[in-house]
């Protein structure tokens, strides 16, 4: 009996120390099991339940300013979404529950990472394993997985295990790859093959950290290689990126539908409180800023931006957290970042792990 | 008595849990729809699309041939396109697949399928759980009666 207890205690201690690195890995190995719920969500639930005794034992929780702003955001979106259901503007109860559930999950994973024994090196190791694994996956898919022909480009992370998730996986890589100068180049190659334009912009925006780092030589060499790859890559790989740079494509390409949706959604929004989470399918927004404004009003948008902006300002320099926030702010231009588990989960872990930075 | 910092945490969590529960309850009683008070951004109209299929037109998995009534399964595009038949048309040497497509038509009468405009020359992809087809749009017409 005593041995059993000792064994359980050892397992608990192991989980406590390794929760952040293990959770970080779940985004790579987490397939969908039904609707938008993933195996990783159940894994997170397991950790949350396991750590309830730990949280209950803390009698006083110190809240930082950004955490208070985050809680006010959660309170606000809960209230406006609840009332939007009651008054009938919102007819998407299931969508509302799932979206709000994602915000709660983001906060819970953040709290988990902030409570557990924060170990930078283990989390970084986990990020390195994830990015290198995804690089190998991308290279395999790009050169062996699918055949090419001359009328279209190939996107990695869009078939098989990662079906339809090129942008999501690339977004997560953009956040993780900027944790370390060494990860930047592998991350760039994986993102480049994914064809995700916004993730590539986010990754390059986060690269500002490389110039601020003491190991800037590695970063500088990486950026030179990046420029060479962009210039010398075969046109089939560049086509998706080059097309975005052609001004006339704005009037004939896929961008128009997105702008059109944004315009309608913004026009219909009650400015202060929005239409409630889930009032439309999230696919019509494809922008976190527009989505939050349309569904929770200007108050919700201000509280969300304040949550991350306060955290950014509190950083003393451009470090891992600041970089992750820069990438987040770029990704959110054309992605519903916070409700995409593959992107938001690694971000929550990074923010939580470096809570006291 | 709760301490002040905890009060905000507790209130926010209680409000969030009540909202999630009400959302699930609402979902249990009604299908998720888009409110009539809002413009239905997910409203779709039907069109017939003719798609030329250059070789190799069947992508992985290659285990099956298309059957009449096969539906699109792609994320966000479920049932948005249905395979009707294959045709041989004089204007191209390639086989032509005919699809019934649920597309969005904007104020300027442009037709959109997902984020791609349905116009001649644009790429078109169709995926089922047994195969995937990719080709180039030749023509888009009002739906066949």
* ipTM of the shown complex: 0.87
d(CA A146, CA B104): 31
Beta bridge partners of A343: none
- Test A72 with B56 for CB contact under 8 angstroms: no
Contact A116, A55 (CB under 8 A): no
The lowest-confidence range among A1-5, A198-202, A343-347 is A1-5
Chain A residues close to B112, C-beta within 8 Å: 257
Task: Average the pLDDT over A330-349 and give the result.
Answer: 93
Q: Which of B3, B11, B136 sits opposite A151 (nearest CB)?
A: B136
Task: Average the pLDDT over B82-93 and give the result.
Answer: 82
- Test B115 with A254 for CB contact under 8 angstroms: yes
d(CA A209, CA A18): 27
- Test B38 with A268 for CB contact under 8 angstroms: yes
Number of C-beta neighbours around residue A176 at 10 A: 30
Mean pLDDT of chain A: 84
Task: Return the pLDDT at A151.
Answer: 40
Task: Return the pLDDT at B55.
Answer: 67
Would you say residue B128 has pLDDT above 90? no
pLDDT-derived band of residue A347, with 50, 70 and 90 as boundaries? very high
Task: Return the pLDDT at A152.
Answer: 46
Task: Average the pLDDT over A165-192 and give the result.
Answer: 91
Contact A123, A21 (CB under 8 A): yes
pLDDT in tens, A271-304: 999 999 999 888 888 899 999 999 999 999 999 9
- Nearest chain A alpha carbon to B29: A93
Task: Return the pLDDT at B82.
Answer: 92
A166-170, A212-216, B6-10 — which one is most confidently predicted on average? A166-170
Chain B residues close to A335, C-beta within 8 Å: none
Would you say residue B117 has pLDDT above 90? no
d(CA A202, CA A185): 14
Beta bridge partners of B127: B132
Helix-helix angle A341-353:A320-331, to 10 degrees: 160
pLDDT in tens, A87-118: 999 999 999 999 999 999 999 999 888 887 66
d(CA A339, CA A313): 24
Would you say residue A67 has pLDDT above 90? yes
Would you say residue A242 has pLDDT above 80? no
Task: Average the pLDDT over B101-120 and give the result.
Answer: 79
B-facing residues of A in 117-156 (CB < 8 A) are 146-147, 149, 151-152
- Test A85 with B38 for CB contact under 8 angstroms: no
- Test A93 with B23 for CB contact under 8 angstroms: yes
pLDDT in tens, B23-38: 999 999 998 888 888 8
Chain B residues close to A60, C-beta within 8 Å: 3, 5-6
Domain boundaries, chain A: 2-353
Please give the structure tokens belonging to residue A265.
């959604």
Q: Which residues contact A229 (CB under 8 A, 6 or more apart)?
A: A188, A189, A192
- Nearest chain A alpha carbon to B61: A160
pLDDT-derived band of residue A146, with 50, 70 and 90 as boundaries? low
Contact A296, A269 (CB under 8 A): no
Chain B residues close to A275, C-beta within 8 Å: 35, 38
Q: Which of B18, B34, B119 sits opposite A82 (nearest CB)?
A: B18
Place of tokens 């938008």: A36
Contact A172, A25 (CB under 8 A): no
B115 touches chain A (CB under 8 A): yes
More confident: A334 or A43:
A334
B33 touches chain A (CB under 8 A): yes
d(CA A333, CA A43): 29
Task: Average the pLDDT over B7-14 and give the result.
Answer: 91
pLDDT-derived band of residue A357, with 50, 70 and 90 as boundaries? low
Task: Tally the residues of chain B.
Answer: 145
The lowest-confidence range among A7-11, A40-44, A255-259 is A255-259
Helices H / strands E in chain B, number of each: 1, 8
Q: Which of A61, A81, A82 sits opposite B6 (nearest CB)?
A: A61
Beta bridge partners of B125: B134
Would you say residue A200 has pLDDT above 80? yes
More confident: A339 or A182:
A339
DSSP track, A270-313: -TTT-S-TTSS-GGGT--HHHHHHHHHHHHHHHHHHHHHHHHHH
- Test B23 with A85 for CB contact under 8 angstroms: yes
pLDDT-derived band of residue B99, with 50, 70 and 90 as boundaries? very high
Q: Which of A62, A159, A258 sits opposite B115 (nearest CB)?
A: A258
Mean pLDDT of chain B: 81
- Test B39 with A268 for CB contact under 8 angstroms: yes
């Amino acid at each position: 009996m005593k041995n059993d207890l000792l064994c359980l205690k050892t397992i608990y201690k192991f989980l406590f120390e390794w929760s952040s690195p293990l959770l970080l890995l779940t985004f790579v190995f987490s397939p969908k099991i039904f609707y938008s719920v993933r195996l990783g969500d159940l894994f997170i639930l397991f950790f949350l339940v396991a750590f309830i005794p730990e949280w209950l034992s803390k009698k006083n929780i110190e809240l930082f300013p950004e955490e208070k702003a985050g809680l006010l955001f959660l309170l606000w979106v809960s209230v406006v979404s609840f009332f939007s259901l009651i008054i009938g503007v919102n007819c998407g109860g299931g969508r509302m529950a799932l979206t709000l559930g994602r915000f709660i999950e983001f906060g819970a994973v953040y709290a988990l990472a902030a409570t557990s024994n924060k170990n930078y090196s283990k989390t970084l190791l986990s990020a390195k394993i994830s990015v290198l694994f995804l690089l190998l996956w991308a290279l395999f898919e790009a050169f062996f997985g699918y055949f090419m022909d001359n009328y279209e480009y190939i996107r990695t992370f869009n078939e098989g295990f990662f079906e339809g998730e090129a942008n999501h996986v690339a977004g997560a890589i953009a956040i993780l790859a900027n944790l370390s100068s060494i990860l930047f180049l592998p991350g760039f190659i994986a993102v480049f093959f994914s064809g995700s334009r916004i993730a590539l912009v986010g990754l390059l925006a986060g690269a500002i950290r490389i110039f601020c780092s003491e190991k800037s030589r590695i970063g500088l060499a990486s950026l030179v290689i990046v420029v060479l790859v962009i210039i010398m890559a075969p046109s089939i790989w560049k086509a998706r990126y080059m097309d975005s740079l052609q001004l006339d494509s704005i009037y004939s390409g896929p961008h128009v539908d997105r702008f059109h949706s944004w315009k309608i959604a913004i026009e219909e929004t009650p400015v202060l409180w929005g239409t409630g989470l889930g009032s439309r399918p999230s696919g019509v927004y494809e922008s976190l800023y527009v989505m939050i404004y349309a569904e929770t009003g200007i108050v919700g948008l201000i509280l969300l931006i304040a949550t991350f902006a306060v955290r950014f300002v509190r950083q003393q320099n451009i470090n891992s957290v600041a970089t992750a926030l820069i990438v987040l702010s770029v990704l959110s231009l054309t992605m519903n970042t916070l409700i995409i588990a593959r992107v938001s989960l690694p971000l929550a872990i990074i923010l939580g792990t470096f809570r006291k930075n | 008595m709760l301490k002040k910092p905890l009060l905000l945490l507790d209130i926010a969590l209680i409000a969030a849990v009540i909202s999630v529960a009400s959302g699930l309850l609402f979902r249990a009683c009604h299908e998720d729809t888009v409110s009539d008070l809002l413009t239905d951004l997910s409203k779709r109209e039907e069109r017939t699309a003719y798609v030329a299929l250059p070789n190799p037109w069947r992508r992985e998995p290659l285990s099956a041939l298309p059957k009449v009534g096969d539906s699109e399964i792609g994320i966000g595009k479920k049932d948005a396109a249905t395979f009707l038949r294959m045709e041989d048309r004089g204007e191209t040497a390639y086989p032509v697949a005919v699809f019934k497509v649920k597309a969005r038509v904007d104020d300027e009468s442009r037709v959109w399928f997902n984020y791609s405009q349905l116009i001649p020359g644009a790429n078109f992809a169709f995926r089922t759980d047994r195969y995937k087809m990719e080709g180039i749009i030749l023509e888009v017409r009002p739906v066949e009666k």
